[in-house]
Amino acid sequence: MSCKIITVFNQKGGVGKTTLSVNLSYEAELRGLTTLLINIDPQGSAISWIANAPDENPFPAAIIDLSALGTKVRLEIEKHFNNYDLIIIDCPPNKEQKTAQAALMVSDIVVIPVDPTPMSLVASDQALQLIDEVKVYNDDLKTLIMASKMERTNLAKGVLSALHQTQGATTMKSCTTNLVAYAEAFFYGTGVSAVPGATKASDEIKSVTDEIFSHLENLSPGKIY
């Protein structure tokens, strides 16, 4: 199986899951990877994002909505393995995470975006517990924590250094900072690296993509081999 699966997960709302999922999908396509973005969030934010793209410049990755399937998502995801180099899954914010856990059963990497507030440390512990339940069945699952909407405050730096102490997960070196360009990308229906003038956000999302992909072995466009 050459298809790799990255799931973006945190049961806390508004931390940047959809923003990361959509931008990773966009950057993957730029790198020649045939990519499928799967929405399993009933809010459908990823679908709304892609719907904003103009007809003459459609979003490059394919997208499907499996949010109504519940735990049956796993079987449905498997049907796409042969057609894509990469699948990215955008999870909902819920205490109840059976659908996301079903997706994590077939994932290679789970990325947890964490915004730099003290409440988020509690949330990331809860996220890791939910992931641990899945690791019993999928012990190859790699867990990455990504600081999202980072700021230059001492509070944010303190939260980040606490995240670096996390057991059982790797806290990423790269992060996203708090920039309005991410919201603008939603309105353009594109990746932030295509937003005019968004150089800083573009640079950071490319570093984030490099770092996440560096954890995937044999990730190369299907057309090369």
Ligand X SMILES: Nc1ncnc2c1ncn2[C@@H]1O[C@H](COP(=O)(O)OP(=O)(O)OP(=O)(O)O)[C@@H](O)[C@H]1O
The partner in contact with residue 16, picked from Mg ion, ligand X, none with C-beta cut-offs of 5 to 8 angstroms by kind, is ligand X
18 binds ligand X (CB under 6 A): yes
Can residue 183 be called a binding residue for ligand X (CB under 6 A)? yes
Angstrom distance (rounded) from CA 189 to CA 53? 4
Q: Which residues contact 10 (CB under 8 A, 6 or more apart)?
A: 17, 91, 93, 112, 113, 114, 123, 124, 127
Q: How far apart are CA 170 and CA 155, in angstroms?
A: 21
Considering CB under 5 A, how many residues would be counted as binding Mg ion? 3
Residue facing Mg ion at closest CB distance: 18
Q: Determine, following the binding rule CB under 6 A, whether residue 85 of this chain makes contact with ligand X.
A: no
- Per CB under 5 A, the segment of 18-26, 94-102, 119-127, 189-197 that binds Mg ion is 18-26
Q: Does residue 99 bind Mg ion (CB under 5 A)?
A: no
Instruction: Confirm or reject binding of residue 97 to Mg ion (CB under 5 A).
Output: no
Residue 116 found at the interface with ligand X (CB under 6 A): no
User: Residue 201 corresponds to which tokens in the numbers above?
Assistant: 């956000």
Burial degree of 41 (CB within 10 A; 0-12, 13-18, 19+): buried
Interface residues for Mg ion in 19-78 (CB under 5 A)? 45
DSSP 15: S
Size of the site for ligand X (CB under 6 A): 19
* The total number of residues written for the chain in this structure: 225
The angle at the Cα of 136, spanning 131 to 140, to the nearest 5 degrees, equals 75
* Interface residue with Mg ion, options 11, 18, 35, 39 (CB under 5 A): 18
Identify which of residues 3 and 143 has a Cβ nearer to ligand X in the complex.
143
Q: Are 15 and 120 in contact (CB under 8 A)?
A: yes
Contact status, residue 175 vs residue 146, Cβ threshold 8 Å: yes
- Contact characters 20-59, ligand X, x per CB under 6 A: ---------------------x-x-x--------------
182 binds ligand X (CB under 6 A): yes
Q: Which two tokens stand for residue 115?
A: 């915004």
Binding positions for Mg ion, rule: CB under 5 A = 17-18, 45
Binding positions for ligand X, rule: CB under 6 A = 13-19, 41, 43, 45, 93, 148-149, 176, 178-179, 182-183, 186
